[in-house]
Amino acid sequence: MDKTFQKFPRAGVDLSPLGFELRADAAPYFCTPKGARILGWAGVDGIHYCTVRGSGSRIFAVSPMNAAPECVHPIAESSEDFLRLLLACGDAAVLEQSWQWDEAQFSAFLNENPPTDEQKAALSELSRRMRLTPMPKPWRYLRALQASFPPAEKPSPRLAQREAFDCGLLLSPRSRGRFREELAFEKSFDWVGRHWLVPAAYVCGKGLAIDFCMRAEADELRAFMQKWKLSPENDDCAAFSQEDQLLLDAENPLALSFTPTLTVNGKTLHVSERASASFHPCFPDRETPLAPLMRRYHLSDAFGWVVTCAWFPWNGRRPADVHSIELSLRRTPAPLPGPRFTVRAPGDAFRFTHPYTGTEHTLTALSLEAQTLPETAFGRGFPTHFTLLRFALDPEPTEPVLISDTRESDRPVRPETIKSASSARAVGVIGGADGPTALFVSGGAHTACSALRFSPDTRDIEWRATFEASPRDDFSLSLL
């Protein structure tokens, strides 16, 4: 941690209103440069700020959601310059995004997003306690710094990229830039109604990566598009209801959830990271990041394809030689939306049939309580009021049942980090800031939380049942 930033807790300077949070953890992202020392976090989209070994005191912004190679940009030559830029701009987000703006756009953003009262107080405290003044002409400073730092000199990401396969996803292993060996398989097989190709494994010092290529028939994709009236202009999930989005995922020929496991030289390896990208034959003119891999693996553009890269770290020391690889695949069925219902008081009941088991269940409300989260649960600017539903299920389901509010939560006033709850048995709101909240099981009691509101919700809550199934359709294959 930079010594200047270490002073903040002792000096009582809180930069979180300015988009710069200190954290005890410093887990890197796939695009975090090698040799990085993480200084702080924006609290949204994984954005973080760091110095890099060999680059002196220069500070970089790392933005995992940007398409490579725009994930890393220098924003200050020193921590003092960084703080003076904050004083001039009012928010670290301005510095992180500055690389894509000209001077007029930069000035327009500042004019359209003046500091809030909370930010003004933080800026005043920063200036007083650190005895700093705002950076004059901040855009010119940033532009000169970034212009003197060409892409070729950017710090190398932790994960090396393979081929030109650059789609901003985690599609390369922790190889320090090079694979030690490529093991060609060219294995093909049929599983869960799809044709698959596993072309090769890429062996590295930290583990190995495997690409799984799943094929979808063009006729099946066309039928799916016709049923849902999809087109290049109408494929945004925001145009569909929550139930329809679940059905789209369940029926999409290019969507299938699976978990791979490897046994290498007799040792079991579990997947730790993976990412996917797809090609759709009905949209041949749409740019696809799969083009280099489709050429490499000779994947015909007459079909739809999903390529999933899975990364398996070694279980212990790296073997001197890989002489056997056994693959196991397990499918996780997609969640299916169920009926909506309302319970207004204890004793109200609702009957439904689980589509995966065919069993009829009765949900009986035990209590409905208006509750309020402490402000420290998520952070300032988040809604905190919700309704807690406790209920019984008869008979107890053998497969998961998810109960959620059909309406979305109120949007936060400003994006902040959602802090981890100290106990999942105490707070059952998962993702409640941005969407419907979900069922969890606490101490044996079935519980569901409504969406979060800024004020107590006086309307009847319409709940929805969503059904899941345990993993099934296991498959095994010898790769090597």
Write out pLDDT tens, residues 329-370: 998 888 888 999 999 999 999 999 999 899 999 999 999 999
Q: What is the band of 223 on the pLDDT scale with cuts at 50, 70, 90?
A: very high
Q: Which of 309, 310, 319 is nearest to 267 (CA)?
A: 319
CA separation for the pair 219, 215 (Å, rounded): 12
Please calculate the CA angle 215-217-221 and round it to the nearest 5 degrees: 110
Q: Phi/psi zone of residue 45: left (φ > 0), alpha (ψ -120 to 50 degrees), beta? A: left
Q: Which pTM was predicted?
A: 0.56
Q: Are 379 and 443 in contact (CB under 8 A)?
A: no
pLDDT at 75 over 50: yes
Cβ neighbourhood burial of 167 (10 Å; 0-12, 13-18, 19+): middle
Q: Are 310 and 202 in contact (CB under 8 A)?
A: no
The percent of residues above 90 in pLDDT, for the chain, comes to 27
Q: What is the band of 9 on the pLDDT scale with cuts at 50, 70, 90?
A: low
Q: What is the band of 233 on the pLDDT scale with cuts at 50, 70, 90?
A: low
